[in-house]
C-alpha cells in the first residue's frame, strides 16, 4: 500500500518578504508566517494524518509545531535530510544582488545542486514512507527541497516555468512499497484550498 507524503513549505520569514535567498541561514517565521502555518493547518485538518515531521531549521520546525498543535498530533520529529538547499555565498542576497555579484548561478561558490538535494532528501523520505506503509504523513520543508523533488519525480514537468512553491502550500507525493515516487497533487495553500492536479 502506498504511503502519502505531504510536503508543506514553511510560513513566511522576513527574508522571504524581502525576497532574500535563505538557504541554510536559520531565519525565524514572522507574524505572517505564523498565520500562514495556522491557516495551512486548518485546511489540512480536513484529512487524517499520522504524524508531523520537519526540517531542523527553525522556520520549518515552528511551522510544524503550529500544525501539529492544531491537528492535535504529537510534537514534530526532525529529519535533517530535508533542510533547505544550501545556496553558498548568495545566501542573504536578493535576486538582483546575486545577478550583479555572480551572474550565472553556476558560478556561485558553495551552491548545492538540485541533484544533490534529491540525493539526500529522497532516500530519507523513502525510508520514512517504508516505516509507515499506507499512512499519511506531513513533512514541513522548504521551497528548494520541494521543488527539487517535484522536478525529479515529474521529469521537470512540475513546477512549470513561473510556478512558485508558496509559503504554507501543501504538495502530495505517493511512495509505493517498491520505492516508486509520484506527484499526486500540488499547490494547495491558504486562500487557494484546491490542489492543482497532475496530468
Active-site residue, 172 included: no
Task: Report the run of H or E that residue 129 belongs to, with start and end.
Answer: helix 114-131
The pLDDT of residue 100 is above 70: yes
Q: In the prediction, which pLDDT does 137 show?
A: 99
Distance CA 93, CA 95 (A): 7
Mean pLDDT across 132-148: 98
Q: What are residue 4's DSSP bridge partners?
A: 136, 174
Q: Which residue has the cell 509505493?
A: 176
Question: Model confidence over 105-125: pLDDT tens digits?
Answer: 667 999 999 999 999 999 999
Distance CA 170, CA 163 (A): 14
Q: In the prediction, which pLDDT does 199 show?
A: 55
Query: Can you give the residue ranges of every domain in the chain?
Result: 3-197
The pLDDT of residue 147 is above 90: yes
Active-site residue, 10 included: yes
Q: Which CATH code is given to the segment(s) 3-197?
A: 3.40.50.1240
Question: Model confidence over 164-177: pLDDT tens digits?
Answer: 899 999 999 999 99
Q: In the prediction, which pLDDT does 164 show?
A: 87
The larger pLDDT score, comparing residue 160 to residue 113, is at 113
Mean pLDDT across 85-94: 97
Q: In the prediction, which pLDDT does 163 show?
A: 86
Q: In the prediction, which pLDDT does 31 show?
A: 99
Mean pLDDT across 42-71: 97
pLDDT-derived band of residue 140, with 50, 70 and 90 as boundaries? very high
pTM of the predicted model, to two decimals? Answer: 0.94
Distance CA 186, CA 158 (A): 9
Pick the closest to residue 184 from 153, 143, 141 (CA basis): 153
pLDDT-derived band of residue 195, with 50, 70 and 90 as boundaries? low
The catalytic position among 12, 62, 84, 91 is: 84
Amino acid at each position: 500500500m502506498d504511503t502519502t507524503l505531504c510536503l508543506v513549505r514553511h510560513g513566511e520569514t522576513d527574508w522571504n518578504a524581502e525576497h532574500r535567498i535563505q538557504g541554510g541561514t536559520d531565519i525565524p517565521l514572522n507574524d505572517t508566517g505564523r498565520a500562514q502555518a495556522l491557516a495551512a493547518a486548518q485546511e489540512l485538518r480536513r484529512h487524517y494524518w499520522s504524524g508531523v515531521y520537519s526540517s531542523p531549521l527553525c522556520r520549518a520546525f515552528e511551522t510544524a509545531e503550529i500544525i501539529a498543535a492544531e491537528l492535535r498530533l504529537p510534537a514534530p520529529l526532525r529529519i535533517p535530510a530535508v533542510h533547505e538547499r544550501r545556496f553558498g555565498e548568495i545566501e542573504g542576497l536578493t535576486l538582483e544582488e546575486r545577478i550583479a555579484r555572480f551572474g550565472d548561478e553556476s558560478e556561485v561558490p558553495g551552491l548545492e545542486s538540485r541533484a544533490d538535494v534529491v540525493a539526500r532528501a529522497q532516500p530519507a523520505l523513502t525510508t520514512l514512507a517504508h516505516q509507515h506503509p499506507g499512512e499519511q504523513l506531513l513533512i514541513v520543508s522548504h521551497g528548494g527541497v520541494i521543488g527539487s523533488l517535484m522536478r525529479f519525480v515529474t521529469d521537470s514537468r512540475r513546477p512549470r516555468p513561473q510556478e512558485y512553491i508558496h509559503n504554507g502550500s501543501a504538495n502530495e507525493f505517493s511512495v509505493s512499497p517498491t520505492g516508486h515516487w509520484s506527484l499526486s497533487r500540488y499547490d494547495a495553500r491558504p486562500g487557494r484550498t484546491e490542489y492543482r492536479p497532475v496530468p
